[in-house]
Chain A
Amino acid sequence: MHVPDGFINAPVSAIAGVGAAAAIAVSLRGARRELDEKTAPLAGLVAAFIFAVQMLNFPVAAGTSGHLLGGALAAILVGPYTGVLCVSVVLLMQGILFADGGLTALGVNITDMAIVTTVVAYTVFRGLVKVLPRRRSSITAATFVAALLSVPAAALAFTAIYAAGGTTDVPLGKVLTAMVGVHILIGIGEAAITALTVGAVIAVRPDLVHGARGLHAPLKLRVGGELVDAPAPEPVPAAARSTHKVRATFIVAALLLAGFFSFYASASPDGLEKVAHDKGIDTQEKKHATEDSPLAGYSVKDIGNDRVATGLAGMIGVAVTVGVGSGIFWAVRRRKGSAADATPTAVPQTEKV
């Protein structure tokens, strides 16, 4: 899915680049808080891991094989900020060294593969972990769903960027159905592998899994003398954490819904369209006939207005999601930081959003 140069026009690439740079700046701050001075070596090694694991081939069927994309895996293993950084660095190095993905398309690639995947995966994951019972199996299940959704979400983000600044005139509906259709399949594989991998890490070193930190907190029972000692440290970070975490999670979830899933919802008839299209595939007229009807939003004939309209909607969706979402993350974290300074009992390093 590495977008080459010339696929997305210059202005939209520039906007995506600015958005990606802002998100990376936010992630740099966040990662420093997640890992403090260990950030560089640890994030670097995790990036190397993501890079290596992308080369690990998983056999699918009949000689074909697939590999991990790694956004969801990174988010759940090392946290969203570090995850964004790791995947972005992998993409940056792939772009500069291996010419995989264009240099001008770097912003587009980082936005959809590093930021959208990671943020969607982590948001879904956190939401599910809150709801599900505190067990290892629920971490695995949440990982599965998070990874499953993160890949088509990236495809949606790509389609939105394409709608805003695609240089080719492939009808949007087709791009959307092709991208989302293919990426739902890829997402299933990604989900299975990510869930299995996270499960394998949890089985050995649950303390390393960022997403499972809430899980092992109650397990830290010091049964040396009495049980009273154990619950005492536990509620403090939990209470300090929960409100901000829930708030941030919901705000981000709402933004994501507005940005991506509304787009998806309005475009979902295209699934039907695809069926119709498949049925009457030989005649061009049939295609147009179906596209003329209720799905006018993604109609092809008058590319001008519709594409601009959809493009703007998509662009605003992406901008709002990336910009405001990360801005709120940042604001919440800052407030959190000052609150932690004010109250001496709170431990600033332990909070995670």
Chain B
Amino acid sequence: MGAGHAHKLYRQAASPVHDLPPHCKIAAVFLFVIVVVSTPREAVWAFGLYAVLIAVVAGAARIPAGFLLKRLLIEVPFVAFAVLMPFVVPGDQVHVLGLALSKNGLWGAWNVLAKGTLGVAASVILASTTDLRALLLGLQRLKLPSLLVQIASFMIRYGDVITDEMRRMSIARRSRGFEAKGLKAWSVLAKSAGALFIRSYERGERVHLAMVSRGYAGSMPVIDDVTATGAQWRYAAVLPASALVICLLGWTL
């Protein structure tokens, strides 16, 4: 379990963004996204400014542009949806290159694309500057129910273990000549999923016993409690505050 969790998501680096307490970052990102979502879609320049803000934060966090862009690919399914939008939305038509596109649809597509991309970018910056344990600690500091945080932390801690177990089962299947082709494979794969569930559940029982034998009584001990100073809160608030200014300008202009 040692180093295996954070690999692809977290980027180790020394930067002012990395040093911020996790709950400040989570709150800042969340507020930023709320502000972005409530910006009117007609204020195109506002979204440009948001993108600049994101780029500045990414620069401060020493996240290379390529890394950020690659992680943005998660959005692709909704991009496809957004591309369809100008064709299916009724309303005033605009003719571009011989295609009849609806104005409303174009605005809608722009709205979803711009806000979605900014949201994803903000989350990516959060995840790549905060390691998983700190993130969970931050959620706890933000008064998420402790049971929920515990469940999340177990999911994160054992996510890789269970995924590896699944991979080993897949290797075992393939080394016995199994090939996942067509519907016939479903029963085999579903049996694997069933076995994976039993293994996960039994592992959960073992984990629980191990915890009880180490004195677990319903809550996890907090070893390194993070606290944020006023200065850190203020520093983290720069992002949502400047976004808010842009948003207000977007509504008034």
List residues of A whose CB falls within 8 A of some B CB.
4-7, 9-10, 13, 24-25, 28, 31-32, 37-49, 51-53, 55-61, 65, 68, 77-78, 85-86, 88-90, 92-93, 95-100, 102-104, 167-171, 174, 192-193, 196-201, 203-205, 208, 284, 288, 300-301
Which B residue's beta carbon lies closest to that of A77? B197
A6-B36 CB under 8 A given contacts A58-B186, A95-B123: yes
Most buried by B among A45, A171, A174, A192: A45
Q: List 18 A-B contacts (CB under 8 A).
A: A6-B111, A6-B114, A10-B37, A28-B147, A32-B147, A37-B218, A39-B147, A51-B162, A52-B165, A59-B180, A99-B119, A102-B115, A104-B33, A168-B85, A168-B104, A168-B109, A170-B85, A197-B194
Q: Is B118 an interface residue, CB under 8 A from the partner?
A: yes
> Which of B12-20, B56-64, B201-209, B231-239 lies at the binding interface?
B201-209
Do the beta carbons of A284 and B36 come within 8 Å of each other? no
Q: Is the CB of A196 within 8 A of B186?
A: yes
**CB < 8 Å A-B pair total:** 264
Instruction: Contact check, A52 vs B196: say whether CB atoms are below 8 A apart.
Output: yes
B41 touches A167 (CB 8 A): yes
Complex Cα gap A139–B143 (Å): 39
> Which residues of B are interface residues toward A (Cβ below 8 A)?
9, 26, 29-30, 33-34, 36-38, 41, 71, 74-75, 78, 85, 88-91, 104-105, 108-109, 111-112, 114-116, 118-124, 126-127, 132, 135, 145, 147-148, 150-159, 161-163, 165-166, 180-183, 185-187, 189-198, 200-201, 203-205, 207-208, 211, 216-218, 220
Whole-angstrom distance between the alpha carbons of A203 and B74 in the complex? 38
Whether A52 contacts B163 in the complex (CB less than 8 A), given A38-B204, A59-B181, A104-B37, comes out as yes
A48 touches B159 (CB 8 A): yes
What's the nearest-Cβ distance from chain A to residue B106, in Å?
10
- Complex interface: chain A residues within 8 A of B196 (CB): 49, 52-53
> Which single residue of chain A is at the shortest CB-CB distance from B146?
A40
User: Cα distance A96–B155 when bound, in Å?
Assistant: 14
Are A47 and B151 in contact, with the CB atoms below 8 A? yes
Most A C-beta atoms less than 10 A away, residue of B36, B115, B182? B115
Excluding A48-B200, A102-B116, A170-B88, 10 further A-B contacts by CB distance (< 8 Å) are A4-B112, A5-B119, A40-B150, A45-B162, A58-B185, A89-B151, A96-B123, A196-B187, A200-B194, A208-B201
Chain B residues whose C-beta falls within 8 Å of the C-beta of A53 in the assembled complex: 166, 193, 196-197
On chain A, the residues within 8 Å of B183 by CB distance are 59-61
Picked from A41, A99, A203, the residue with its CB within 8 Å of the CB of B154 is: A41
Asked if B185 contacts A59 (CB within 8 A), the reply is: yes
Residues from chain B with Cβ under 8 Å of A6 in the complex:
36-37, 111-112, 114-116, 118-119
Contact of B200 with A25 in the complex, beta carbons under 8 Å: no
Given contacts A10-B38, A45-B158, contact A85 B148 (CB under 8 A): yes
Of B37, B195, B198, most buried by chain A (CB within 10 Å of CB) is: B37
Hey, which chain A residues are within 8 Å of B217, CB to CB? 37
Find the B residue at minimum CB distance from A167.
B111
B153 cross-chain contacts in A, Cβ below 8 A = 44
Question: Which of B71, B165, B204, B217 has the most chain A CB within a 10 Å cutoff?
Answer: B204
Contact: B208 with A41, CB < 8 Å?
A: yes
Contact in complex: B104, A48 (CB < 8 Å): no
- Beta-carbon contact of A41 and B204 below 8 Å: yes
Instruction: Please tell me if the beta carbons of A168 and B218 are within 8 angstroms of each other in the complex.
Output: no
Contact A5 B193, CB 8 Å, known A44-B158, A45-B203: no
Minimum Cβ distance to chain A for residue B215 (Å): 13
User: Are A49 and B78 interface neighbours, CB within 8 A?
Assistant: no
**Residues A204 and B198 in contact in the complex (CB < 8 Å), given A52-B159, A97-B135:** yes
B1 CB to nearest chain A CB (Å): 12
Across-interface contacts of A31 in B (CB, < 8 A): 147
Which residues of B have CB within 8 Å of A95?
123
Given contacts A42-B208, A205-B198, contact A51 B159 (CB under 8 A): yes
Using Cβ atoms and an 8 Å threshold, which residues of chain B touch A198? 194
Asked if B207 and A197 sit within 8 Å, CB to CB, the answer is no
Q: How far is the CB of B35 from chain A (nearest CB, A)?
A: 10
With a cutoff of 8 Å between Cβ atoms, the chain B residues found around residue A92 in the complex are 152
Knowing A86-B151, A100-B74, say if A208 contacts B198 (CB, 8 Å): yes
List the 9 closest pairs (A to B, CB-CB), nearest first.
A44-B154, A6-B115, A200-B194, A5-B119, A168-B108, A196-B190, A45-B204, A4-B116, A99-B123
